[in-house]
Amino acid sequence: MVFNNEDHETPQEGPSKNSQNHHYPASQSMIINFPDEYRCPISLDLMRDPVIVASGRTSSSSNLESSPSMKRKLPEKAVDHISATKAAMDAVKLIAEFLPLPPLQHLTKLLTNLTKFHHYPTVISLIKRLNLLNIKHDIYITNIQINCFSQMGHVGYALSVFGTGLKCGLGADIVTFNTLIKGLCRNGMVDYARNVFDEMPEKNDVTYGVLVNGLCKVGDVSDAVMLLRDISEPSVVVYSTIIDSLCKMGKVNRALGLYHEMTEKGVAPNDVTYMCLMKGLCGFGLRVEAKKLLGDMLGRRNLLDLGTCNVVMSLLCKQGWISESCDFFVFMVERGVMPNAGTYNALINGYCLIGRVDAGRNLFDVMNCDRDVISYNVLINGYCKNNEIDEALGLMEEMCRLKIDPNVVTYTTIIRGLCLASKLDDALVIFDKMKDCGQVANVVTYSTLIDMLCKHERYSEGLDLFKTMDDAGVAPDVFTFTSIIDGLCKNGDLDAANECFRELSSRGLQPNVYTHTAMIGGYCRSRKLNEAKALFLKMKESGCKPNVHTYTVMINGYCRIGELNEANELFNEMQESGCLPDGCTYNTVIQGLLLHNEISKAFHFIHKMRSNGFDVDAYTEALLLRFQSCGQLGHSSKKVLASLSQDHCDGTLNECYS
């Protein structure tokens, strides 16, 4: 049984479910503990006419008549909540106050409505009370119980109800099996669900759809496809579920093949099918395929709503596919789907992403709907990325004139733009203005400023700003810590950097490859190679894979102290691990060899570097010219030096590792 013996009695043989009334012993009282959510917080009585007061709490209107100022207009989103609360109270009062009870089918309908509003514990409690009244269950109530327990995560209870129903002779219909399979899948017990599926005497489209969905959620897409082959007439829902999972797994070509299969079988794709596949194609930059899909989508003349159109527009624009985006825009208008601010914002963003900010501005100026804060933010971001900071500032001033309040995204975008334009003091002024206007800076705002302060060698200001974050209620993230650790290391304050690095774990943050590299770089600059190597090894043990920057920093550290064998071993290790050296790595090794008079080995690496498409930077060239002027280069080395391209790096690339 589902409940303990002391509070759940075995149902006795009673009236059939078609009986109009139920009779109970006169001495048996009906006591129900009403859930707190159904009681008025003022009177603690059961709410009769619930309303929402200004605090957001639900209360009984009768208790607010003396204080009408406490009432407020009911938000649209709260209507369902109030309706659900009323339905729940009606059911509770019905079972608590009415004797004899109405027909069982009426009670079943009430329980079903409560379940739709997610009042699962209440439903279970009411069914438990019906058991105490020795009211015989039917298959419908059994199905409701299984659903509620499954939704609450109590799969064991759901299975117990299923078994009890079989023992009591209620049997199990296809809805029972489907409900149980859905609950098992929802709680990750897909293998158990498959066993139930195999034992089912009959199956319908819902059965297959539920199990396919469960298999896809746990990544068993191949099994889902095999199950698809067993369905005589698969529905569009089943196909869309598998297509969505394949796209999320990066198997877009297989998803596209399944799409062609469903159309050939006469299964018409719906909006969900198109959206799932379009996301996958756009995400992998498959422009030709996406264009064909879009053409198919438009050719089928599906009835698209504005929300779906905006999703498609956003997907196309984020890839910078402006021609397709404009064609789709025209299609929308021709079909009578009038663009809103979201449509225009997506298209403006698309223009900005490909550097056509002027075209984005032209579209912004001719919008036939009200511009919102997002419209301004998108264009401001475009101007900032295009280094047109004055235009961005002009737009923010226009927002203020039109009484469109800039939000945290607006200010953060402007601050980032000013920082990139090396106007750091102006960025700090905007930061102060932001706080004066009542906008609360977020972690991105702080991190942007801290990062740029450190990069401009204003380390103390960056550290001071970092220390104010906790007081402002903004928790630093990994990027914030990485910026401050890198700044402290470059400033030579290794102890403070180490303290920040240790603080990461105390805040529950995991240092990433950039955080490790910054700390390793600090150790290498201080010639503490043992500590750098220890952290490097610990980094790999923790599952954080070093990148080319990490390896180059370590190689540079070994070259600085003349441990060229260690540097060479690390160079070989990085290639074996699949991390290919870049031009900076090669130049770092070559410079280390030249500075320790390993000229022949240096020219060996120069040959290797050039064969991989890289060239010497300005500092390496200067070292080679110095050796040449001192007469230390042989004939072959002189020939190599003479053949070196004059179009070299700007010489600053390697400074990031020094």
What gap in Å lies between CA 321 and CA 327, rounded to an integer?
10
Lowest-pLDDT choice from 102-111, 216-225, 438-447, 528-537: 102-111
For residue 100, whether the previous peptide bond is cis, meaning omega lies within 30 degrees of 0, is yes
Q: Look at residues 626, 555, 622 and name the one whose alpha carbon lies nearest to residue 586.
A: 555
28, pLDDT greater than 70: no
The helix or strand, by DSSP H or E, that contains position 216, with its residue range, turns out to be helix 205-217
pLDDT for position 21? 40
Q: Is residue 632 part of a domain?
A: yes
Output the pTM of the full model.
Answer: 0.68
Alpha helices in 249-319 (DSSP H): 252-264, 271-283, 287-299, 306-318
pLDDT band at 610 (very low <50, low <70, confident <90, very high): confident
* CA-to-CA separations, 609 to 4, 268, 628, in angstroms, rounded: 76, 56, 20
- Tally of structural domains, the chain: 1
pLDDT band at 5 (very low <50, low <70, confident <90, very high): very low
The residue among 505 and 650 whose pLDDT is bigger is: 505
Lowest-pLDDT choice from 106-120, 276-290, 475-489, 572-586: 106-120
Rank 169-178, 521-530, 613-622 by mean pLDDT and report only the highest. Answer: 521-530
pLDDT for position 653? 36
Q: Look at residues 470, 476, 542 and name the one whose alpha carbon lies nearest to residue 512.
A: 542
Lowest-pLDDT choice from 315-319, 334-338, 469-473: 334-338
> SS3 sequence, 50-109?
EEEECCCCEEEHHHCCCCHHHECCCCHHHHHHHHHHHHHHHHHHHHHHCCCCCCHHHHHH
pLDDT for position 640? 61
Q: What is the pLDDT of residues 123-175, one digit of tens each?
A: 888 888 777 777 777 888 888 988 999 899 898 888 888 888 888 777 788 88
pLDDT band at 374 (very low <50, low <70, confident <90, very high): very high
Lowest-pLDDT choice from 150-159, 422-431, 540-549: 150-159
pLDDT for position 14? 35
Collapsing DSSP to helix, strand or coil, 39 comes out as: strand
What gap in Å lies between CA 480 and CA 502, rounded to an integer?
14
pLDDT band at 49 (very low <50, low <70, confident <90, very high): low
Q: Is residue 35 part of a domain?
A: no
CA angle, 135 as apex, 134 and 137 as ends, to 5°? 125
Residue with tokens 């159309």: 263
The count of other CB atoms within 10 Å of the CB of residue 622 is 12
Both tokens of 70, joined, read 């406490």
pLDDT for position 201? 84
Give the torsion through C-alpha atoms of 521, 522, 528, 532, to 10 deg.
-50
Contacts of 289 (CB under 8 A, 6+ apart): 252, 256, 281
pLDDT for position 32? 43
CA angle, 117 as apex, 114 and 123 as ends, to 5°? 35
425, pLDDT greater than 70: yes
Q: Is residue 546 part of a domain?
A: no
116, pLDDT greater than 90: no
Q: Which residue type is seen at 597?
A: N
What is the 8-class DSSP label of residue 354?
A: T
Collapsing DSSP to helix, strand or coil, 632 comes out as: coil
Both tokens of 42, joined, read 């003022």
pLDDT for position 23? 39
CB contact at 8 A, 553 and 525: no
Q: Is residue 15 part of a domain?
A: no
Residue with tokens 């022949």: 600
What gap in Å lies between CA 220 and CA 197, rounded to an integer?
16
Alpha helices in 98-220 (DSSP H): 104-116, 120-132, 139-151, 155-167, 174-186, 190-199, 205-217
Mean pLDDT of all residues in 490-499: 93
Q: Look at residues 522, 526, 529, 539 and name the one whose alpha carbon lies nearest to residue 486.
A: 522
362, pLDDT greater than 90: yes
Q: Is residue 629 part of a domain?
A: yes
For residue 11, whether the previous peptide bond is cis, meaning omega lies within 30 degrees of 0, is no
Q: Is residue 486 part of a domain?
A: no
Collapsing DSSP to helix, strand or coil, 46 comes out as: strand
Contacts of 277 (CB under 8 A, 6+ apart): 243, 247, 252, 255, 256, 259, 293
CB contact at 8 A, 252 and 285: no
632, pLDDT greater than 50: yes
Q: What is the pLDDT of residues 292-321, one digit of tens each?
A: 888 888 777 666 788 888 888 998 999 889
End-to-end CA distance of the chain: 72
Phi, psi (rounded to 5 degrees) for 58:
-95, 135
Q: Is residue 498 part of a domain?
A: no
pLDDT for position 40? 58
Lowest-pLDDT choice from 71-85, 152-166, 531-545, 554-568: 71-85
9, pLDDT greater than 60: no
Mean pLDDT of all residues in 449-460: 93
Q: What is the total residue count of the chain?
A: 658
Whole domain around residue 589: which residue ranges? 582-657
The count of other CB atoms within 10 Å of the CB of residue 656 is 12
* CA-to-CA separations, 359 to 316, 322, 383, in angstroms, rounded: 17, 11, 12
Mean pLDDT of all residues in 18-30: 38
What gap in Å lies between CA 122 and CA 7, rounded to an integer?
16
The residue among 88 and 369 whose pLDDT is bigger is: 369
What gap in Å lies between CA 186 and CA 308, rounded to an integer?
27
85, pLDDT greater than 70: no
Mean pLDDT rounded to a whole number for the chain: 81
% of the chain with per-residue pLDDT over 70: 80
Beta bridge partners of 53: 71
636, pLDDT greater than 80: no
Both tokens of 213, joined, read 């969905």
Positive or negative: CA dihedral 270, 272, 278, 284: negative
511, pLDDT greater than 80: yes
What gap in Å lies between CA 84 and CA 106, rounded to an integer?
17
Which burial class, exposed, middle or buried, applies to 298 when counting CB atoms under 10 A from its CB (0-12, 13-18, 19+)? middle
Q: Is residue 611 part of a domain?
A: yes
What gap in Å lies between CA 537 and CA 223, rounded to an integer?
40
Q: Maximum CA pair distance of the chain? A: 117
